Each structure stands twice: as structure tokens, then as C-alpha cells.
Amino acid sequence: MSGIRTGDDEKHLLTGATGFLGSHIMAGLLLKGKGVVIAGRPSAGVSLKERIRRLLGWFGIEHLEGLLEFYETDFLKVRLGLGEDEYELLRSRGLSIIHCASDTSFAEKNRERVMKTNVESLTEILNFALKSRTRCFHFISTAYAAGTDNIECPEAPVNSAHFTNVYEESKAHAELKVSKRCREGERQYTLIRPSIVYGDSGTGRSLRFNALYYPVRSLQQIRDIYLDDIKNNKGKKSAECGIYINDEGVLHLPVRIFIPNEGNINLIPVNYFTETILSIIEKPVTETCYHITSNNPENMWRLASYTERFLNITGIQIVIGTPGDGEMRNAPEELFDHFLKAYRPYISDKRIFSREHTDRATSGSLPPDFSYEIFRRCMSFAVSADWGKNLF
């Protein structure tokens, strides 16, 4: 496929291509021989083209660069920050659009920035979509835009007033905005809602190490602090926390993980996400939501046992309930609980995501069960990549 130019009918304009999901969508399209028009920004002095080149190298598909076109854009600016002629030319091509760019911060302190990136910036990209002959506007959202009001989450417009964090809220607002503007402008659109995406289940490779990875990484680094203490400082601080190396040479790290209820964590591997989204955009059904989720979500007990096995530790205990004031019994437990705070709603989640539309689009293809082997593969890759520091 190298160097083959495809017609505009086969091309997609993709935003967020430098992100985790966006880059996989880009790679998936390129491997299918589809041309991709990348719209995005330079970052930290690195041009958009260079950022994408690095990613192509990571995917091992540098030879497909010829299928790419680049537009440095700013979605908060008029005409996406493009010159008039350039904008008109791009608009006239009628590309289908996959809008994947977003700010994934959960923090309330970043509310303004998140709402600006995820909702406000939609105005210009939707203006562009409506003014052009776009075949379809695909909006990458999140399963959690469903909010917290209902356990049953259909593949339908958001019907919730309550959200876990500003990210979910912004995505819900964005979905409404996309639906409204596209309907008014008589443009086809889809809303695509993945749950929590981890690395490639086959290779373990990943570009991002938050969500599933963050707690494991936190525990690994907490573990290493106390292993150092035992090795270099006679384990004085470890003993104060009840931490020791047992007879089998395994570190006993007594950490309780508090979860509010007996829920699950809905995980899908990125390779499944990519396959699914490519199927959806192949034959999109307009005004349709697609849940790219697992019907067999994991529970924290199993993830804790996977983590213990992988990190060669014991002592992790899952506790249902909320810790009271002063209940944290030691420093690692308290620190880990603090690190986990932002993710807590997702590890004890009772929501059930229907996926009829997705099943129809994918002929019932489901994500693999999250076995220890997949977990080990993913975490081993993460460790070898120093949790993202040695990726490129």
C-alpha cells in the first residue's frame, strides 16, 4: 500500500492523532490503505508532522507516511486557524471526520480548560463539518458520558445530570452539541463511546499508561521505596508499617484498597477498540451511539491478585466501604488511596453498557477476557517502557 494515494472518498480527517486512541485509529486506517488528513497542533516545539512521524515509527509503519496529509490547526480559532484558501480547499473535499481530540483531565481545577477543549472547540470543527460536504462526523466520546444517574446505559443520547468528573460532563455536553448541530445541519454523525482502553492484548504495547496502569505503577514504586528501606536502612520504616519480606522472599505490603461498592472495571484492549471503530466507520449508521465496552468487566479482587503476582508482593486487600477519618493505617495505604481517588468510580462501577449497535457493526466481535497473561504482557511492556519514558 506504500505511497498509494487514495481518493478523497476514502479519506478521513482525523483530530487527536497524536493521542492514544487517535494514533491507533490513524495506524488502523493507514494499514487498511486509507488516506488520513491529520489536523492538529505542534507541541513543545515539535511540529505536528514530526510528532506523527515518531508515532509512525512506534507503530513500525513509517512506509505509510505517504498516505498522510498534515494541517496545523487550532480548533479554538476561526477557520480552525487556517488561511482562507487553505480552509476552503479542505472544506471542499468533503472528507468524513473523526474527532478524537480531547482533554482527558478529571480534575475540577482544570474545568475551564477541559470545557474549552472538549466543548467550546467543537464549534469551529462543527462549523467546518457543516460547511463541507462531510459524509459523516464521528465523535469519539466515552462510555462514561452516560453519567451516574442510571445503572442501565443504553446506546442512546445522554440522559443524566450527574457525572463523576468534569471530563465525563464535558463529553456529555459535547455529545449533545454534536447531535444538535449535525441534525440541524443535516449531516450524518455517530457517537462512539469506548470504556477504559488499555494496551494491545496481543503484544502488550501501549502509548499511554494511565487508568489501568496507574495503580500498578503506584504500587510498584511504593514497593520499591520499602524494598530500598529494607535493603539499605535495615527496614526501620518498613517495620513501622508492618512491611516485611516473608519466608518466600515476597514483600508483604499491607495495603487496603477501599471501593465504595462491589462493582467492576470495564476494560477493552486498544487493538479491539481499533478494529471496532474501523468497522463502525466503514458502514456508519447516522445518529447512532456505539458502546465499545466489555460485557464481562473485571473486578478488583482479580486485578489485585494479578497485581500481587506481577509485582511479587502480598498484602493487598479489597475493602468495600469508605475509609473514615484517620482510618488509613500506614503511609503506603494512604498514599495509594490518594493516588486511586480519581479512578475509584471506575474500579467499582455498577453501570451496564448495552452494545447492540456495536455488535451489529462488528458482527458480534467481543473483546478478549482480561487474563493474567494479557495483564502480564501489558505491564511488562509498561515496565520496559519505564511507564512511557522510553517509548520513542
Of 285 and 342, the one with the shorter C-beta distance to other proteins is 342
Name the minimum Å distance from CB 326 to other proteins: 7
- Single out the residue of 95, 74, 96, 194 nearest to residue 141, CA to CA: 194
Of 192 and 241, the one with the shorter C-beta distance to other proteins is 241
Q: Which residues of 231-254 are buried (b: 16+ CB within 10 A; e: fewer)?
A: eeeebebbeebebbbeeeeebebb
Give start and end residues of each alpha helix (H) in the chain: 20-31, 48-59, 84-91, 111-115, 122-131, 166-184, 213-232, 236-240, 270-282, 300-311, 331-340, 344-347, 356-362, 372-384
Name the minimum Å distance from CB 111 to other proteins: 12
Name the minimum Å distance from CB 370 to other proteins: 24
Three cell numbers written together for 292: 465499545
Helix (H) or strand (E) holding 64: none
β-pair partners for 13:
37, 97
Q: What does the alpha-carbon distance between residue 164 and residue 323 come to, in Å, rounded to a whole number? A: 19
Q: What does residue 274 show for φ and ψ, rounded to 5 degrees?
A: -65, -45
Of 361 and 382, the one with the shorter C-beta distance to other proteins is 382
Of 229 and 349, the one with the shorter C-beta distance to other proteins is 229
Of 297 and 345, the one with the shorter C-beta distance to other proteins is 345
Name the minimum Å distance from CB 333 to other proteins: 8
Of 31 and 230, the one with the shorter C-beta distance to other proteins is 230
Q: What does the alpha-carbon distance between residue 119 and residue 287 come to, in Å, rounded to a whole number? A: 19
Residues that bind other proteins (CB under 8 A): 105-107, 109-110, 210, 214, 217-218, 221-222, 224-226, 228-229, 232-233, 237-238, 240-241, 326, 328, 330-335, 338-339, 342, 387, 389
Strands 244-245 and 189-194: unpaired
User: What angle do the packed helices 48-59 and 20-31 form, to 10 degrees?
Assistant: 70
Q: What does the alpha-carbon distance between residue 221 and residue 229 come to, in Å, rounded to a whole number? A: 12
Three cell numbers written together for 108: 475540577
* CB distance 126 to 91 below 8 Å: no
Name the minimum Å distance from CB 242 to other proteins: 12
* Torsional sign, CA 176, 25, 41, 168: positive
Q: How many helices (H) and strands (E) does the chain have?
A: 14, 14
Of 9 and 228, the one with the shorter C-beta distance to other proteins is 228
CB atoms closer than 10 angstroms to residue 75: 22
Give 90-105 as a DSSP string.
HHTT--EEEE------
